[in-house]
A and B are shown apart, each in its own frame.
Chain A
Amino acid sequence: MSDGNSGQQFDRLPSTPDEREVEGRASRREVVDWWTERFAVPPETFDGIAFWEKGAGKVWAFAGEVDSPVRIEGLGMAFMRTRQEHWKPTTEAAQRFGAEAERNVIRLTREQADRFVAGEDQAIDWDGDWGYLIAAHGLAGTDAPLGVGLYLHGELRSRIPKGRRREF
């Protein structure tokens, strides 16, 4: 049993909202549904992956089996932020799972991709939803996801974290 939410340990998300024991914690179903609704990522993409919370709202994706809760340094991949109005995937989640996305993917030219990974904001036309988008570009015949951008008022704001930025 978890005594709430702690920054020191990882707690597995409940499968469904009905099994929720900790106030405000997302459930696995809500997480998977969110990716389906927002990005049309097929739910089976996440088969075999459990989601865990460490610290309020930070969700991790982990393919292994361990008992919950567990107090260790890391568990799988930092995956997304919940417990805020607009949930937000991490760069790494967008890169790993965004290749399956069919909605809210903004395709950039090479020049726009260069600016995006350098961390720059840029004016770009886009007819779709506002909010967090997956930015991608063509590489070696694939549609390669770069990371997450925030689209507002005709502008794509790069959300590539500092340590991940590159200037080509």
Chain B
Amino acid sequence: MKTDTIAAIATALGPSGVAIVRVSGPAAGGVLRALCGEASPEPRVASLLAIRHPRDGRLLDRGLVTRFVGPDSYTGEDVVEFSCHGGYLTPRLVLEACLAAGAREAQPGEFTRRAYLNGRLDLIQAEAVVDLVEGRSPRLRQAALHQLERGLSDRVADLRGRLVGLEARLVHHIDFPDEDDQPVPIEEIAAEAEAVAAALGALARTAPEGELLREGAVTVLAGVPNAGKSSLFNALLGVERAIVTEVPGTTRDALDAVVSLDGFPFRLVDTAGLRESDDPVERIGVEVAGRWLEAADVVLLCVPARRAPSDEERRFVAERAEVPVVLVRTQADLADGVAAGGEVPGAAASVTVSAVDGRGLDELRAALPRLVFAGLVEAGSDAPVLTRARQRAAVEAAREHVCAFARALAEGVPADLAATHLRPAESELEALLGTIDREEVLDRVFADFCVGK
């Protein structure tokens, strides 16, 4: 069966010491010979070779060349990697030489796609590669690396295996009623189903935070004009991004920027001060702020430290029970201590800060991850995390099927009927991993039981 050979520059273009041109496919060996002559290097050993254009033999570069023989390679195919000099020109020339030798330019992600199609990676791992390459926050990187190392895949595969095991035990007593083994007690089956459902539930609960790892937690700075929102925004970013003046209503359009706090990504949004205004531009700004507030994962309500929070500000907190609102007492350097009556019921935390002398900022930085990523902070960086809506949907659907199974058993539905809930649950997890194999149930039956005639 023929497939074609792809090539691409695997490193970023621009001035750099080294760049890598990667070739994958059945003709990779041919490309190597066309560019570097007959001396085929040992697989997986970097060799310094002259790289020449296949047509006219002109020297393009001298570089380290490594050959991988499929299936022991990233893509599962024959792979050649040319480590040549970086910069704008050399890598391009080497790539063109590869194309001249019969390869075609790879599409984005095509190497990883081949790795998946050839069974080198499962679907979760393939997605993790994307996060690893594109993600900017350290914790996303950790989660992606963990997924790439099969952390999540193993957990999903393990849960699926337990479901297959359950099905096998039920099916065994359907298909071999006269056998030597005693029937499996229903209580045992039910207990295992509950345990699997609980584990699926725990996994699903990582999803909201896991998805935020990829997108960044939307953190909206809100408050009346001149409360010091833009100053705080700049202070947290460490850069003067937003315009700060003593004129109330300075900020009009929302500004956003991603900042990493304890490795977790936060998307800070500075908004227009909330007030009634006749200025059409400012009115639109307030509207925009309202929309951001609806999308917020956490809100920083800025209230100058020198005065007590107003009734309106208290109502603002009370109306937002479903998102954590942090009460930030700003401009603390100006105040003689914090004004009395600062307790606001419903606020998730209260921090006193100054954008001028920097007090309280570290406390705020520490508080945010604990508020938004509580589960992940608690679980540590080694626990599997769902980072995509696709993953969450599959795990939740699987959990629902398993719960339905357990419920049916509890209602006294015959086990063989109840078992009809297991297959859809397995299918969900299989789709999540990107593998499906029904024969496995039988394999399990034969491996685990003494089945006779």
| A and B associate in one complex | no
- Residue positions of A touching B, CB distance < 8 A: none
